[in-house]
Amino acid sequence: TSRFVDVELAPPVPVFALTARYREDNHPNKYNLGVGAYRTDEGLPWVLPVVRTVEQQMAADPILNHEYLPVCGLDSFCKASTKLVLGDDASAIAQNRASGVQTLSGTGALRLGAEFLKRCLGMNVMYHSKPTWGNHIGIFQDAGFTDIREYRYWDASTKGLDIKGLLEDLRAAPEDSVVILHACAHNPTGVDPNPSEWEQIMQVVKEKRLFPFFDSAYQGFASGDLDRDAFAVRMFEKADFEMMISQSFSKNFGLYNERTGNLAIVAKDPESLRRVRSQMEKIARPMWSNPPNHGCRIVATVLGNAAFFAEWKDNIRTMSSRISDMRRMLHEKLRQLKTPGNWDHITNQIGMFSFTGLGSKQVDYIINKYHVYLMNNGRINMCAITTGNAEYIASAINDAVS
């Protein structure tokens, strides 16, 4: 008998299980609104043109090689990435008290940060929005956090932000809790606090001495404007917080499988930052030893060259405006069908996802009858909607709620 005979079968990861079901389906009109990846209006993955250009240059470059990067990654990438989120004029950068560590994308940045907070500062309580990106919980649990709590976020009645509940929950948090804040384009709800709500959140984080850990997975992808999507992070930086920001280049560069990320760290002084970085290096070495090069080289090249940078911003706007168009189109189709209920949240929400408000029974109905695959919580990837399928998807939703 196998040595593994008593190993329990772990449950599948929901979003990947949904994709597997979709693949097995032979229906001609099947659509996958589950996985969070950009699609063109033809329903295809997109390599950003600026990325393609840089890759071609890299392939032709006789000097580039496959030597190891340092444990903390490619310095030019980390610097450019940290600057991208904090802004060119951030005092933390000018004062040498902010820097980055290259990570295995956003997931790796969250994990590295969580490991550090647990081991080096003894933090054990983590707060995440209700709901949140599911992996937040697993990442912090695996880093050793044993007290994982929710703060209220989504208000099902308004299909908007429950700011009152959010503030109440954070006010009740013990000091030195880590609080995960989605920098923009909240996943899965597509609902972000407005500037005055961010101001109130910041006040509570300060009063309760919570540790802000921003998750920035959609900078530029959300509004089409890199600065606007970094608003909340920069507000905290200006108010002199020590904090961490996990940055993912999966969506805004379309580098999903290249695992391109940065953990930006802001400290009170350069000396503290140096000590923190030394510990990060100690944590990264036995976990992945050193990070991959391909994606970060592309990002560093684009961010370091004015012409490429301008082209990238243009590519980002292509993606974000297609998403806005699809929001408007789906909304309009639902209106034409006189679908019961108010669907304004489809156009009010921001980013890759829309939290439709569909319940799990309605979701099952849509999957089984229409072969349109969406997450059990009603989240849909707006990028998977195209001019060709919007009507079909709207009629599926209409049928499920009528």
Active site (catalytic) residues: 133, 215, 251
- Taking CB atoms within 8 Å and a gap of at least 24, the contacts of 38-45 are 38/251, 38/254, 38/319, 38/352, 38/383, 39/381, 39/383, 39/384, 39/386, 40/322, 40/386, 41/322, 41/386, 41/387, 41/388, 42/386, 42/388, 43/384, 43/386, 43/388, 43/389, 45/254
Contact pattern for ligand PMP over residues 133 through 152, marking x by CB under 6 A: x-------------------
Give CA–CA dist 209/101, Å, rounded.
Answer: 24
* Interface of this chain with ligand PMP, residues 28 to 47, rule: CB under 6 A: 36
Bond into 291 cis (ω within 30): no
246, 103 contact by CB (below 8 A): yes
Nearer to ligand PMP, 107 or 354 (CB): 107
Closest distance to ligand PMP from the beta carbon of 332 (Å): 27
Query: Are the beta carbons of 85 and 184 closer than 8 angstroms?
Result: no
* Shortest separation between residue 133's beta carbon and ligand PMP, angstroms: 4
The residue among 232, 152, 140 whose CA lies nearest residue 185 is 232
Minimum distance, C-beta of residue 271 to ligand PMP, in the bound complex (Å): 30
Binding mask 147-186 for ligand PMP (x = CB under 6 A): -----------------------------------x----
Site for ligand PMP in 270-329 (CB under 6 A): none
Q: Quick one: the chain helix, strand, coil %, rounded to 5?
A: 50, 15, 40
SS3 178: strand
For the record, the structure tokens of 112 come out as 């590295």
Does residue 263 contact residue 244 with C-beta atoms inside 8 Å?
A: yes
User: In the complex, what is the shortest distance from the CB of residue 255 to ligand PMP, in angstroms, rounded to a whole number?
Assistant: 9
Q: Within 80-99, which residues bind ligand PMP (CB under 6 A)?
A: none
Collapsing DSSP to helix, strand or coil, 254 comes out as coil
Q: Judged by CB under 6 A, which stretch of 101-109, 156-164, 304-312, 382-390 contacts ligand PMP?
A: 101-109
User: Which of 185, 124, 126, 133 has the alpha carbon at shortest distance from 15?
Assistant: 133
Query: 330 and 351 in contact (C-beta within 8 Å)?
Result: no
CA distance 212 to 245: 8
Residue 182 CB, nearest approach to ligand PMP (Å): 6
* Residue 107 sits in the site that holds ligand PMP (CB under 6 A): yes
Binding to ligand PMP by CB under 6 A, coded x per residue (else -) over 230-269, reads ------------------x-x----------x--------
Closest to ligand PMP by CB, 215 vs 311, is: 215
CA distances from 291 to 27, 85, 105, 283 (A): 41, 20, 10, 13
Task: Give residue 366's identity as a one-letter amino acid code.
Answer: I
Residue closer to ligand PMP, measured from CB, 73 or 97: 73
Looking at beta carbons only, is 248 or 301 nearer to ligand PMP? Answer: 248
Nearer CB in complex with ligand PMP: 187/389: 187
Q: In terms of CB distance, is 132 or 362 closer to ligand PMP?
A: 132
Task: Indicate the residue among 106 and 291 with the shorter CB distance to ligand PMP.
Answer: 106
How many of the chain's residues bind ligand PMP (CB under 6 A)?
12
As given in the structure block, the two tokens for residue 48 are 């950003």
Task: Provide the strand spans (E) within 275-357.
Answer: 353-355
Q: How far is the CB of 136 from ligand PMP (least distance, A)?
A: 7
Nearest-approach distance from CB 320 to ligand PMP, in angstroms:
15
CB of 390 to ligand PMP, least distance (A): 23
Q: Can you tell me which residue has the tokens 């979003």?
A: 15
DSSP conformation class of 131: S
Among 78, 93, 217, 323, contact with ligand PMP (rule: CB under 6 A): 217
| Of 162 and 215, CB closest to ligand PMP | 215
For binding to ligand PMP (CB under 6 A), which residues are involved?
A: 36, 105-107, 133, 182, 187, 215, 217, 248, 250, 261
